[in-house]
A and B are shown apart, each in its own frame.
Chain A
Amino acid sequence: MKDRIIEQYIQLKLSDSAALKNVYLFAKELEIAEKEFYEHYSSLEALEADIFNQWFIGVKQNLEKSELYDGYSTREKILALNFAWIEALQANRSFVKEVWKYKKDMLSLPKMPSFLKPLKESFEAFADSIINEGIQNNELVDRKFLSDKYKNGLWLNLLFVVNFWLNDHSKAFEKTDAAIEKSVNLAFDLMGKSPLDSMFDFGKFVFQNK
């Protein structure tokens, strides 16, 4: 049932958004009682947010199933997730564009738009486990206070990638591939051992010993 609700919602969003004015009208389209809808979702907003979350969970499960993924470093795992995520969105680019369009301004506000909240939670849980793995195998550096922010960085990176993809006019979205490769590499270079650590360490030493 859930799948049917999602499928129908996406379809109506693109072709006949008047039918999405309220749950009553939407349930009518689905030919179910309004009551039945609430068994799955409390509101249309919750439904919309869940669509993104479901996609993400699907992408993550698919990745974790593949043998290749096991052998990846943490950097490669995040890269693979970003590629697979955009690949998944590709199938519904028009829908993503529609939803992202009218909420685009909200991205610049400090408050996260509600339709991204469940996605953000799932992503950050995923990112957290990857980051821990990375710290344990020394790919990433554990920095006081900062380490907790790593996952936010990766989340912002994901938002950047989606925005880039939505505005990408290159054929087969080749530039988005390059954007993912470059931005994730930058993020991991920053989170890994860098000259900044040595600079900070040296600065502290000089300060303490003058």
Chain B
Amino acid sequence: MEQNSIPTTKVERAMRFVKTGAQIGGNYIKHYSKKALDPSRTKEELHEDNATDVYNALSELKGSALKVAQMLSMEKNILPRQYTNKFQMAQYNAPPLSGPLIVQTFIKSFGKAPQEIFESFNMKASNAASIGQVHEASLNGQKLAIKIQYPGVAESIQSDLKIVKPIAFRLLNMNEKELDKYIKEVEAKLIEETDYELEFKRSEEISSQCAQIPNIAFTKYYKEYSSKRVLTMDWMEGLHLDDFLKTNPSQEIRNSIGQAMWDFYDIQVHELKSVHADPHPGNFILKENGVLGVIDFGCVKVIPEDFYYNYFALLIPELLNEPGIISKIMKQQEIINANDTQLVQDKITEAFMKITRLLATPFMESSFDFGNNEYIDKIYALGEEVSKMEELKQSKVGRGSQHALYINRTYFGLYSILNVLQAQVNTGIRDWKTNLIQYHQNHLATVKKGN
């Protein structure tokens, strides 16, 4: 997909979306008129048409809009597959910063042009991220990767999101109030992602605490050549997922990488309670010797304690047998609320537990084969089924805590990478389960005493 011209002003960007809105409207008209002539035409084709138009609009935008596209593409359970396929194309290659702007950014950050700092500096970007781009350089014989951010990104995010909102409401069939808490969560994360100093700090924290995991590699960052808008790190050799798979790695190597990835997330979620929440393929480098390289700590979700204990209790069947615990969790997680009738509560709880049981499958067994497409297809199918539930469609409020947004996304991302990787992973037996059971038993005991 060509991305030659970026619409620049707010008005222009808004116009893109207006155009897209009109196109989607047009697609519906086209769909129903065609359907009148050709009854075999399916809704799939309509979704495909819409996805193309939305993608075309998004691909001409930069920065946060592209990020939202990425975000939506991870939410496979919410969006029909046709949307997500198109959105996934948005994950790579945005248009470049000019040479003089790169020099300018360096001068502002370090008082010198990159050519004066490094032995070599390639002015041609080797990779584009959604809010910046990556350049190759070298210093004292060490190959470096330098991430440079577009100017003013942080400030344009808020206005971008205002533009994205209406289209998101359309796509997700929700009203403004309902989406507000989620949009706020996304907004806060997007703004954090523009702060490379924060990313530097977080990468140091997480990588030092996860260093003991076998077969994992973190890159070294250079503080003296990093600023709010420039991040300098060692270049990591290896391939991104797609290219890696083309080399036909053995099952053993796939398992080794998959296991490293699983352990990496396990420790972050259950021990650090703060997690690299952007598991899309662009953030990992896979090596032929079965080592997983982690790059990009832009998006880190800190997990609040009470959210943690309720959300992850769902993974422990013996806990869920305690009377009343499910409804307590449903309320804490904001899946059901006080205004729901008993019937609605029951129906939603039932559907939610069905999804949970399915998603928790890998945790139930001591090892799990993510290469099993049947399992992944079941998740999609159930996701679509639930999204069509009348009780959910008619709901005037958002279901689910805003914290779940990035945690869900993390696990969807993790599952889908492991699926593409076709890895078998040891998943089940973990210490944190004891800790969770303990917490809830203590909690239930105090409640009983209180009575």
Residue numbers of A with Cβ under 8 A of B are 66-68, 72, 75-76, 79-80, 82-83, 87, 170, 172, 174-175, 177-178, 180-182, 185-186, 189
B155 surroundings in chain A (CB, below 8 A): 170, 174-175
Is B5 interfacial (CB 8 A cutoff)? yes
The residue on A at minimum CB distance from B229 is: A174
- Is A83 touching B103 in the complex (CB atoms < 8 A)? yes
- Is A181 touching B99 in the complex (CB atoms < 8 A)? no
A172 surroundings in chain B (CB, below 8 A): 108
B103 surroundings in chain A (CB, below 8 A): 68, 80, 83
- Among A66, A67, A170, A177, contact of B101 (Cβ-Cβ < 8 Å): A177
- Among B8, B99, B113, B151, contact of A76 (Cβ-Cβ < 8 Å): B99
The 8 A-B residue pairs whose C-beta atoms are closest, nearest first, are A177-B151, A80-B100, A79-B100, A174-B151, A83-B104, A178-B152, A174-B152, A175-B152
Nearest Cβ distance between residue A162 and chain B, in whole angstroms?
16
- Is A76 touching B104 in the complex (CB atoms < 8 A)? no
Is B438 interfacial (CB 8 A cutoff)? no
Nearest Cβ distance between residue B332 and chain A, in whole angstroms?
39
- Chain A proximity mask over B99-119: 1 for CB below 8 Å, otherwise 0: 111011101100001010000
For this complex, 24 residue pairs linking A to B, each with C-beta atoms less than 8 Å apart, are: A68-B115, A72-B99, A72-B100, A76-B98, A76-B100, A79-B99, A79-B100, A79-B101, A82-B100, A83-B100, A83-B101, A83-B103, A83-B104, A87-B104, A87-B107, A170-B152, A174-B229, A175-B152, A175-B155, A177-B151, A181-B98, A181-B101, A182-B6, A189-B5
- Among B99, B104, B115, contact of A177 (Cβ-Cβ < 8 Å): B104
Is B444 interfacial (CB 8 A cutoff)? no
- Is A177 touching B5 in the complex (CB atoms < 8 A)? no
- Among A68, A83, A186, contact of B8 (Cβ-Cβ < 8 Å): A186
Nearest Cβ distance between residue A113 and chain B, in whole angstroms?
28
Which of B97, B100, B152 has the most chain A CB atoms inside 10 A of its CB? Answer: B100
Inter-chain CA distance A181–B107, complex, in Å, is 16
Inter-chain CA distance A87–B107, complex, in Å, is 9
B83 surroundings in chain A (CB, below 8 A): none
B17 surroundings in chain A (CB, below 8 A): none
- Is B152 touching A185 in the complex (CB atoms < 8 A)? no
- Is B101 touching A75 in the complex (CB atoms < 8 A)? no
Q: A83-B100, A174-B155, A175-B151 are in contact. List 11 more A-B contacts (CB 8 A).
A: A68-B103, A79-B98, A79-B99, A79-B100, A79-B101, A80-B100, A83-B103, A172-B108, A175-B155, A182-B6, A185-B98
Inter-chain CA distance A185–B97, complex, in Å, is 11
- Is B97 touching A181 in the complex (CB atoms < 8 A)? yes
- Among B98, B113, B229, contact of A75 (Cβ-Cβ < 8 Å): B98
Is B150 interfacial (CB 8 A cutoff)? yes
- Chain A proximity mask over B138-155: 1 for CB below 8 Å, otherwise 0: 000000000000111001
Nearest Cβ distance between residue B62 and chain A, in whole angstroms?
10
Inter-chain CA distance A104–B155, complex, in Å, is 27
B98 surroundings in chain A (CB, below 8 A): 75-76, 79, 181, 185
B115 surroundings in chain A (CB, below 8 A): 67-68
Inter-chain CA distance A9–B5, complex, in Å, is 45
B101 surroundings in chain A (CB, below 8 A): 79, 83, 177, 180-181
Nearest Cβ distance between residue B380 and chain A, in whole angstroms?
40
Inter-chain CA distance A160–B229, complex, in Å, is 25
The residue on B at minimum CB distance from A185 is: B98
Within 8 A of A (CB), among B1-44: 5-6, 8
A80 surroundings in chain B (CB, below 8 A): 99-100, 103
A181 surroundings in chain B (CB, below 8 A): 97-98, 101, 151
Inter-chain CA distance A159–B6, complex, in Å, is 23
B99 surroundings in chain A (CB, below 8 A): 68, 72, 76, 79-80
B229 surroundings in chain A (CB, below 8 A): 174
Nearest Cβ distance between residue A210 and chain B, in whole angstroms?
33
- Is B104 touching A178 in the complex (CB atoms < 8 A)? no
Inter-chain CA distance A181–B113, complex, in Å, is 17
Within 8 A of A (CB), among B357-393: none
Inter-chain CA distance A146–B115, complex, in Å, is 38
- Is B8 touching A182 in the complex (CB atoms < 8 A)? yes
B113 surroundings in chain A (CB, below 8 A): 66, 68
Inter-chain CA distance A166–B352, complex, in Å, is 55
Inter-chain CA distance A66–B112, complex, in Å, is 12
Inter-chain CA distance A79–B229, complex, in Å, is 19
Inter-chain CA distance A76–B115, complex, in Å, is 16
Nearest Cβ distance between residue A83 and chain B, in whole angstroms?
4
Nearest Cβ distance between residue B398 and chain A, in whole angstroms?
33
A66 surroundings in chain B (CB, below 8 A): 113
B104 surroundings in chain A (CB, below 8 A): 83, 87, 177
The residue on B at minimum CB distance from A83 is: B104
Nearest Cβ distance between residue B100 and chain A, in whole angstroms?
4
The residue on B at minimum CB distance from A189 is: B5
Nearest Cβ distance between residue B67 and chain A, in whole angstroms?
17
Inter-chain CA distance A180–B155, complex, in Å, is 16
Inter-chain CA distance A76–B124, complex, in Å, is 13
Nearest Cβ distance between residue B361 and chain A, in whole angstroms?
47
Inter-chain CA distance A149–B388, complex, in Å, is 60
B97 surroundings in chain A (CB, below 8 A): 181
Nearest Cβ distance between residue B331 and chain A, in whole angstroms?
43
B6 surroundings in chain A (CB, below 8 A): 182
A186 surroundings in chain B (CB, below 8 A): 8
- Is A178 touching B100 in the complex (CB atoms < 8 A)? no
Inter-chain CA distance A79–B100, complex, in Å, is 6
The residue on A at minimum CB distance from B121 is: A68
The residue on B at minimum CB distance from A81 is: B100
B5 surroundings in chain A (CB, below 8 A): 189
Inter-chain CA distance A172–B151, complex, in Å, is 10
- Is B150 touching A178 in the complex (CB atoms < 8 A)? yes
CB within 8 Å for A177 and B152 given contacts A68-B115, A76-B99, A79-B101 = yes
Nearest Cβ distance between residue B104 and chain A, in whole angstroms?
4
Inter-chain CA distance A68–B6, complex, in Å, is 26
